[in-house]
Amino acid sequence: MNPLPYAHLARGAEHELSLDGTPLSRIARDFGTPTYVYARSAIAQAYSDLTRAFGDRPHQICYAVKANSNLAILALLARLGAGFDIVSGGELQRVLAAGGAPHKIVFSGVGKRRDEIAAALEAGIGCLNVESAAELSRVSEIAREMDRIAPISLRVNPDVDAKTHPYISTGLKDNKFGIPIAHAPALYRQAARDPHLSVVGIDCHIGSQLTDVTPFSDAAARVLALLDQLVLEGIEIKHLDLGGGLGIRYTDETPPDAADWVRAVVDIVDAHPIARHLPIYLEPGRFLVGPAGVLLTRVEYLKPHPDDGKSFAIVDAAMNDLMRPALYSSVMAIEPVTPHATLPPATWEIVGPVCETGDFLGHARNLALAPGDLLAVLGAGAYGFSMASNYNTRGRPAEVLIDAGEARLVRARETVESLWANEMIPDTLR
């Protein structure tokens, strides 16, 4: 059996898998399957690792809410002192409901609606990360209508290759995100002249699941070159937002740790005579919550192939519960909760019940399986539940937080009736 990739996962009596000391079989017994389970201690430790790496250097950690937006996780991070990186009005409302400080919120995203911008200004968020000239004009117009001054930064596209999956690469010139860095000075000049805009920062984000710090350093260097131009024009910058995207280990990746990531950007920034005095913002999502979570699922049927074809283990979780394998061809570790001592292993396709050939959680996994077995998909704390859907009229899973040895339900499993609660049949069809 492969070594477990995360310190908060362990095997105890009879090699049963536990998360932060709580047997996962107990979670399945008490809450059913499929269920997402998160370890509070692992999230807190990851946050602590990042802040400790900065030492006393001014910084702000803005958790990327899209990674996992459960209110309990947002409340935990708010209590730890985190800020938040949001990409929608809905995420803004979630953060506020969880007790997040408005002045620690940065609002990213290429398609902010008028009502979302207005809500952000009304709430008093720290910064709108503007991603186009058209958006800059819209923010100014709304701020004028509200008689507000909107704090903004420009999200610049540094054209740095993050060397990650093309769907999660965001810093190349062909990506939809951000403003080409060569166009940024003119827009900064426009913003600096606008009485309803306050320039507060420079922002960039180059992608997700990065396993090398070099692209972070390259992007920071290009941001500092832009800073030099702005300083010459008398435009004051109050913070540098260098994005997120640090990867985690799913199977055999060897990503940098928190200290490596922080050192890569701080060494570049602190060598600059002006930037060394500016707070650094980082926007981690996956790094903070990904390793903390597992998706529990149960084997419903085994469908061995008698010839040379594939054998299928059909489980009760599906692509609607965990989209990453189908969407990105992501490979995530899958572990039996209680291994069989005598049953021989075989090669299985781990698939779900959704009516799509692309519905799989893992290919060619060498496991000893029997119907009814529990499996744990590891590293599922990020982009798991937050990307889940109700495809095939399937209720989304329950979510459970392991908190000081107690398993606490933080989101109930959806009932079928709840799925059509907002639908209606017109009288003409009755």
Q: Which residue has the higher pLDDT, 294 or 171?
A: 294
**Share of residues in the chain with pLDDT > 70 (%):** 96
> Is 283 labelled a binding residue?
yes
As for how many domains the chain has, the answer is 2
Percentage of the chain modeled with pLDDT above 90: 86
Based on the fold, state whether residues 44 and 151 are members of the same structural domain.
Answer: yes
pLDDT at 174 over 70: no
Residue where one domain finishes, among candidates 258, 286, 314 = 286
Q: Is the pLDDT at 135 greater than 80, yes or no?
A: yes
Domain boundary among 221, 252, 286: 286
87 and 172 share a domain? yes
Question: Would residue 252 count as lying in a domain?
Answer: yes
Question: Which range of residues forms the domain containing residue 313?
Answer: 9-32+292-419
For residues 160-168, average pLDDT: 50
> Which domain CATH number covers 76?
3.20.20.10
Around Cβ 35, how many Cβ atoms within 10 Å? Answer: 26
Residue 95 has pLDDT above 80, yes or no: yes
Residue 286 assigned ligand-binding role: yes
Both 184 and 52 in a single domain? yes
Has 127 been annotated as catalytic?
no
Q: Domain check: are 27 and 100 in the same one?
A: no
Binning pLDDT at 50, 70 and 90, where does residue 175 land? low
pLDDT above 70: residue 2: no
- Residues 401-410: what's their mean pLDDT? 96
Segment 57-62 mean pLDDT: 98
145 lies in some domain: yes
Res. 208 pLDDT band, cuts 50 70 90: confident
Q: How confident is the model at residue 169 (pLDDT cuts 50, 70, 90)?
A: very low
The per-residue pLDDT for 171 is: 42
Confidence at residue 341, expressed as pLDDT on a 0 to 100 scale: 87
Q: Is 352 annotated as a binding residue?
A: no
Mean pLDDT estimate for the chain: 93
Alpha carbon distance 187, 179 (integer Å): 9
Q: How confident is the model at residue 406 (pLDDT cuts 50, 70, 90)?
A: very high
| Mean of pLDDT values over 379-392 | 97
Q: Is residue 248 part of a domain?
A: yes
Please indicate if the annotation marks 171 as binding a ligand: no
Known binding residue 324? Answer is yes
Same-domain check for residues 231 and 210: yes
Segment 352-378 shows an average pLDDT of 97
CB 200 within 8 Å of CB 230: no
Do 310 and 274 share a structural domain? no
Q: In this structure, is residue 2 part of a structural domain? A: no
> What is residue 161's predicted lDDT score, i.e. its pLDDT?
59
Examine the domain organization and report whether 26 and 156 are in the same domain: no
- Out of 40-54, 80-94, 162-176, 243-257, which region has the weakest mean confidence (pLDDT)? 162-176
> Does residue 308 sit in the same domain as residue 409?
yes
Going by pLDDT thresholds of 50, 70 and 90, the confidence category of residue 307 is: confident
| 369, part of any domain | yes
Q: Do 321 and 179 fall into the same domain?
A: no
Domain end residue (candidates: 286, 315, 336):
286
| 426 domain-assigned | no
From the candidates 62, 127, 204, 355, which is the catalytic residue? 355
- Structural contact between residues 416 and 393, judged by C-beta atoms closer than 8 angstroms: yes
Whether residue 428 is contained in a domain is answered as: no
Instruction: Write out the chain in H/E/C secondary structure.
Output: CCCCCCCCEEECHHHCEEECCEEHHHHHHHHCCCEEEEEHHHHHHHHHHHHHHHCCCCEEEEEEHHHCCCHHHHHHHHHHCCEEEECCHHHHHHHHHCCCCHHHEEECCCCCCHHHHHHHHHHCCCEEEECCHHHHHHHHHHHHHHCCCEEEEEEEECCCCCCCCHHHECCCCCCCCCEEHHHHHHHHHHHHHCCCEEEEEEECCCECCECCCHHHHHHHHHHHHHHHHHHHCCCCCCEEECCCCECCCCCCCCCCCHHHHHHHHHHHHCCCCCHHHCCEEECCCHHHHCCCEEEEEEEEEEECCCCCCCCEEEECCCCCCCCHHHHHCCCCCEEECCCCCCCCCEEEEEECCCCCCCCEEEEEEEECCCCCCEEEEECCCCCCHHHCCCCCCCCCCEEEEEECCEEEEEECCCCHHHHCCCCCCCHHHC
Query: Same structural domain for residues 170 and 264?
Result: yes
Question: Any known ligand binding at 188?
Answer: no
57 annotated as ligand-binding: no
**Tell me: the pLDDT tens digits for 240-253?**
999 999 999 999 88
pLDDT at 1: 47
Residues 339 and 200 in one domain: no
Q: Are residues 252 and 296 in the same domain?
A: no
The answer to whether residue 83 scores a pLDDT higher than 90 is: yes
- The mean pLDDT of 220-245, rounded to a whole number, is 95
Q: Taking residues 66-70, report their average pLDDT.
A: 98
Q: Is 408 annotated as a binding residue?
A: no
Within-domain flag for 430: no
The reply to whether 284 sits in an annotated binding site is yes
Domain containing 375 — which CATH number? 2.40.37.10
